[in-house]
Amino acid sequence: MAPKRIAWFEELRISDRPSAGGKCASLGELIAAGIPVPLGFTVTAQAWAEVIEFADLGHRIGDLTRAVDPNSSSALREVRQQAVEIIHGATLPPGLEEDIREAYATLCARTGRDDLPVAVRSSAVAEDGAANSFAGQQETYLWVQGADQVVLRVRDCWASLFTPQAVAYRAKLDQAHRDEAVKMAVGVQEMVDAEVAGVAFTVSPTTGDPSVMAVNASWGLGEAVVSGEVTPDEFWLSKIGLTVTRKTVTHKAHRCVPAPTGRGTQIVDVPADIADSPCLSDELLHELGEIALRVEKHYGTAQDIEWALARDPDGSHRFMLLQSRPETVNQATRAAIQERTAARTAGAQAYLSVLKGLGLPGQGPG
């Protein structure tokens, strides 16, 4: 069976990374685990490969990028300009644009909303996070509405492979890695109109303590947190009993909201009466914590999760996960903390080391 151009998230598992990219494959895996995730589909790496082949992009852009001096920023900018023009002007393989439009129409039908606002995001196939970042595969377009705009933003995601930093980065790679680095899927997912959004770590990002969870949260869409527009509220939970153990409530002056035009987003001031309020209650933190723990349990390893809290017109709320990836705690940080703890308790340790050599009567719990 020929690989599919379009795959719905619910059809995907983590093993589908080569076709759906890491981001979309992980969302599929979450759905399979019963975690709430926005509806969406993937324009697969196969579809992009077909585009490259059909429009002969391998030659047209390949010639451009091979010839460029990776140290000349003006040359890189020129390459990008031309690549964007080529990609946007390229004729797509027969039926692909229709496939994307049809999938979008289906998405609208499934959510019961015409011109459903969606997020269009690159979904990297390569495992290397640094490569993804340099290769422009972190591109995200928010609040995209209408089939025309969706197709346009899918092309933008493809074109993001040719940003100056992406081209310069790939120039340093060998051929095999370079080939891998240009494979890319694009995710199209229902936009969550987030009242509050942020990230959650299922392990302490500062000490690596696996019994705690850290949550950052701010008003509006999560982009304000990710881009550093605001200092988010910080909440710490104990995984045992999921109680809130620490809160740092900040002044959250700005938030990211849908633009009044209906396309894209903008940063606006937060009303004074809520700027200094905690943006998640203990009850909501508990609910989010439960979801995060389910994700961690599903993967069997600590996770770094992007989440959003949607408020429906009837006042009810629901958490949605936008992304989840393994969290690798900074090992150097953890080692430093352990060293400090050991130094502070050196005297007691000397005493207790004697204790430990005694072969004491122990009984396990239960």
Partner 1 sequence: MTTLEPEPVAREVRFPDPYEIETPAGAEGWEEMYPYYLRFLPQRREADGGRTWFRDGMHFPEPMPPFDIVSAEQAFMSTGVMNTRVFALPPALGLDFRVLNGYMYMSALGVEDPAEIGRRAEEFAVRVGHYYKNWPSLYAAWEDKVKEQIAALKAITLPALGDFEPVENVLAGRGITEANDLLVAYQRVLASIDAVWNLHSEMLNMGYAAYLNFLMTVKGHFPEITDQAVAQMVSGVNVLLFRPDDELKRLAHKAIELGVTQQVTSAADFASLRADLGGSEAGIAWLKEWETSADPWFNFSYGNGFYHHHRSWSDDPTFPLAMVKEYIGRIVAGENLDRPLAEVEAQRDAVTAQYRDLIPAGPDRDAFDEALGLSKVVFPYVENHNFYIEHWYMTEFWRKMREFGDLFVRFGFFDRAEDVFFLRRTEVHDALVDLQIAWSAGGPPIGPVHWPPIVAERRRVIDALKHWTAPPALGPAPGEIVEPMTIMLWGITNDQVERWLAAAAAGDQTVLEGFAGAPGIAEGPARVVLSPDQLDELVEGEILVAPITSPSWTPVFARIKGAVSDIGGIMCHAAIVSREYGLPAVVGTGNATATIRTGQRIRVDGNVGVVTVLDD
Q: Which residues bind partner 1 (CB under 8 A)?
A: 204, 207-212, 236, 238-241, 243-251, 337-338, 341, 344-352, 354-358, 360-366
Closest CA to 185 of 261, 132, 222, 235: 132
Q: What is the closest distance, in whole angstroms, from the C-beta atom of residue 237 to partner 1 in the complex?
A: 10
Least distance from C-beta 51 to partner 1, angstroms? 46
Rounded least distance, CB 343 to partner 1, Å? 8
Nearest-angstrom CA–CA distance, 200 and 213: 7
Provide the 3-class DSSP secondary structure of residue 203: coil
What's the rounded Cα separation, in Å, for the pair 221 and 310?
Answer: 10
Shortest spacing between CB 280 and partner 1, in angstroms: 15
Task: Work out the end-to-end distance of the chain between its first and last CA atoms, rounded to an integer number of angstroms.
Answer: 54
Q: Which of 94, 101, 88 is nearest to 6 (CA)?
A: 101
Per DSSP bridges, beta strands 243-248 and 233-238 are: antiparallel
- Identify which of residues 23 and 252 has a Cβ nearer to partner 1 in the complex: 252
| Distance, CA of 208 to CA of 304 (rounded, Å) | 13
SS3 state of residue 128: coil
Specify the residue, 173 or 337, whose C-beta has the smaller distance to partner 1: 337
Considering beta carbons, is residue 126 or 285 the nearer one to partner 1?
A: 285
Residue (of 110, 134, 140) closest to 40 by Cα position: 110
- Looking at beta carbons only, is 141 or 236 nearer to partner 1? 236
Nearer to partner 1, 315 or 364 (CB): 364
Nearest approach, Cβ of residue 278 and partner 1 (Å)? 10
Nearer to partner 1, 203 or 320 (CB): 203
| CB of 244 vs partner 1, minimal distance in Å | 7
